[in-house]
Amino acid sequence: MTDPLLSVQNLSKSYGALKVTQDVSLDVREGRVHAIIGPNGAGKTTLISQLSGQLRPDSGRVVYAGQDITRLDMAGRVRLGLARSFQLTTLLPSFSALENVALAVQAREGSSFRFLRPAATEQALNDQAMACLADVGLSDRAHRRAGSLSHGEKRQLELAIALATRPRLLLLDEPLAGTGHEEAAQLVDLFAKLKDRVTMVLIEHDMDAVFALADTVSVLVYGQIVASGSPSAVRADPAVRTAYLGEEAAPC
């Protein structure tokens, strides 16, 4: 079997006496959606923050594409193609959707447009930003102010911004939070389409979405992985039912 794209090895993090990440190990394979589920306060966001570089683990390693990135900061990880979306993205509400994405394209490209004239640079940025907006189904909202978009459209825009960094691995922290039924269904369709292009680590409370999208599910309880495997195996795991889902709440 090929090496995993992301390998989390014995990661631990505490806040004082509270052990929020306890000896967590997991492998994420290229081209897959790996969901991490668990009850409120289980440590999912803290874990993903250690994968994105926002938080330093106390111990353990994060290996991405064969490289130890444990000490690499967030910007360095983004440059390697490891991007985080949702819960933290700040849209610029008075800028258009297109401008929001163009800024992310510009950040990625750095000085690679320096040989172009200003007008051509702007055109190149806009073309790439438009392509990202098209990817998330927002072409017709390109010139609307970000602040005037619906909640679901803002989430689509956040995804377009993440895609503008050309990620190989996308960390998605509760992408469906706050969306209505229809918006959630649209976003799930979108992620399903993106599966061919980008590997995803998905934290999500919406179990329908998790079981529709994930190839692998890991269950986190009190900072520890209590089960990991295919959605059907995890669903049937008695330890998961008692520790997390509760017999009656098990997703079936």
Ligand X SMILES: Nc1ncnc2c1ncn2[C@@H]1O[C@H](COP(=O)(O)OP(=O)(O)OP(=O)(O)O)[C@@H](O)[C@H]1O
- Site residues for ligand X per CB under 6 A: 15, 18, 20, 38, 40-46
Our separate counts of H helices and E strands in the chain read: 9, 10
Minimal distance, residue 194 CB to ligand X, in Å: 23
The total of other beta-carbon atoms located within 10 Å of residue 105's CB is: 23
**42 or 129, CB closer to ligand X?**
42
Minimal distance, residue 173 CB to ligand X, in Å: 8
The region, left, alpha or beta by phi > 0 then psi within -120 to 50, assigned to residue 168 is alpha
Q: Indicate the helix (H) or strand (E) that contains 25.
A: strand 18-28
Q: Would you give the DSSP letter of residue 248? A: G
**47 or 98, CB closer to ligand X?**
47
**46 or 156, CB closer to ligand X?**
46
Give the residue among 151, 230, 232 at the shortest CA–CA distance from 184: 151
**146 or 221, CB closer to ligand X?**
221
Minimal distance, residue 47 CB to ligand X, in Å: 7
The total of other beta-carbon atoms located within 10 Å of residue 211's CB is: 17
Minimal distance, residue 208 CB to ligand X, in Å: 17
